[in-house]
Structure 1
Amino acid sequence: MTLFGLVRHGQTEYNRQGLFQGSSDVPLNETGREQAHVALDTVPPVDWDLAMSSSLSRAEETARIIAEDHDIPVAGTEPRLVEIDWGAAEGNPVAEMEERYPGRAFPGRETTQSVVDRAAEALEDLAEQHPGKNVLVVAHGTLIRLLLSGVTGEHLPSIPNGTLSLIEVEGETWRVRMVAGDEVEFPAVTVPRDRSPRFALDDLHLRPQGLEPARD
């Protein structure tokens, strides 16, 4: 079994201003760096074997801060864990773009299922590479929430900056243990690897527009 700690990166100026951020490479602001320093302060301690992040700078810097504070080895980045690509909405105000494109049907945006599929694939590969280890992964709010929602079948709330969620992966079995710092107890979900897509949000009756936070 591999335990993954999924941390949402700290705040950026796009977050603060209410702009769609997605796959744009926006750095942390000072508040975001402070959030990184305290990200693990209010959750049960775990002996993390390694830390890694998505390849976007806000996640990479958050991981580096946490790793330095807690003496965790850094193992690089994983491009499949970058945030959803909002297409034409990126860099624009949330309210304006949602009014212009009902249902968030932004030109060029990535599908919800694509985000879940690549995130699940990345964690599966990391679980194979690090069996029995505790792996801290800094990623992004929408990606984390969609992945956890796909596993649990629940409409999970927005993931705040600098919070920790826990998910266990053992072979084809997945179990969510914590969501944004709150301990939970969801049943384990077994998904065969030859299933495509792995976690079908439509099969779980999850409405994509209901899963996405106001911005990320």
Structure 2
Amino acid sequence: MSDLQCPARVFVARHGEAVYESELLSDAGGWLSPLGREQARELAQSLRGERIARVWTSDMARAVQTGEIVASVLGVDVVVRKALREFGVGDAAGTNGVPDPFAATFASWLDGDLTARIPGAESGTEVVERFEAVLAELADDHRGEGVLVVSHGGVMCMALSALARNLDMSHSRELPMPHCGVVAMDADVDGWVARSWAGSPLEAR
């Protein structure tokens, strides 16, 4: 991020509840359920007082649909960035996900080992770097404004914990992100600070 005289206020939200074409693991697919659409409308209402200037979403349909519902309510436009998507499933693509093929790698990430890699996909470092690049871009574009980012639960839990200086990497271990749960982030010259996590206030460090 460049020097931020008027820092951006960034709200990172998980997409609404989704349904999928198949029970097999994939890096594509998924669309909002009726409940997911209602969750997106509730998210929009909760942000009415935050002067949201734009919605940024991952390119996955469930995130884009969530972002479009919120943007329609708030009267703003939507920007799509592939780098905001969930971490890839790698070699687990086409499997039923039992046992969980990501559990060991994700646990290593939360223990602070970002060199750990999803087999056939990204390391934790690569996930954080791509996510951080988009947050830096939007922080520069929206100085003094509010912006909503719609992303995914796994990448939010690990990347935001890695980026916020007042969070430990293990912060989300017992705090999974609910659908349309929000992490409020402030950007300043020293990086990122998380102000709240899924509705619970956080102390700055």
TM-score range, shorter chain: 0.7 to 0.9
Q: Does 2:85 align with 1:82?
A: yes
Q: Measured at CA, do residues 13 and 92 of structure 1 come closer, stay the same or move farther in structure 2, by a change above 3 Å?
A: farther
Maintained 8 Å contact 2:15/2:179: yes
User: In the aligned structure 2, how far is the partner of 1:113 from the partner of 1:12?
Assistant: 27
Q: Measured at CA, do residues 42 and 124 of structure 1 come closer, stay the same or move farther in structure 2, by a change above 3 Å?
A: closer
1:93 corresponds, among 96, 101, 117, to 96
1:163 corresponds, among 154, 163, 181, to 181
Maintained 8 Å contact 2:58/2:85: yes
1:3 corresponds, among 4, 9, 25, to 9
Q: How many residues align?
A: 182
Q: Measured at CA, do residues 118 and 9 of structure 1 come closer, stay the same or move farther in structure 2, by a change above 3 Å?
A: same
Maintained 8 Å contact 1:43/1:181: no
- TM-score, normalisation: structure 2: 0.77
Identical-pair percentage: 26
RMSD, matched Cα: 2.6
Q: Does 2:67 align with 1:63?
A: yes
Unaligned ranges ≥5, structure 2: 1-6, 106-116
Q: Measured at CA, do residues 106 and 171 of structure 1 come closer, stay the same or move farther in structure 2, by a change above 3 Å?
A: closer
Cα displacement (A) at 1:149: 1.2
Trace 1:37-186 onto structure 2 (pairs within 5 A): 37-41=41-45, 45-71=49-75, 73-90=76-93, 92-98=95-101, 103-104=104-105, 107-150=119-162, 151=164, 152-155=167-170, 156=172, 157-186=175-204
Cα displacement (A) at 1:31: 2.1
User: In the aligned structure 1, how far is the partner of 2:64 from the partner of 2:48?
Assistant: 23
Cα shift readout 1:150-172 (whole Å, capped 9, x = no counterpart):
12224222111111111111233
Q: Measured at CA, do residues 165 and 103 of structure 1 come closer, stay the same or move farther in structure 2, by a change above 3 Å?
A: same
Cα displacement (A) at 1:128: 1.3
Q: Does 2:40 align with 1:25?
A: no
Give the counterpart letter for 1:118 in structure 2: R
Cα displacement (A) at 1:140: 0.8
Cα displacement (A) at 1:97: 4.0
Unaligned ranges ≥5, structure 1: 188-216
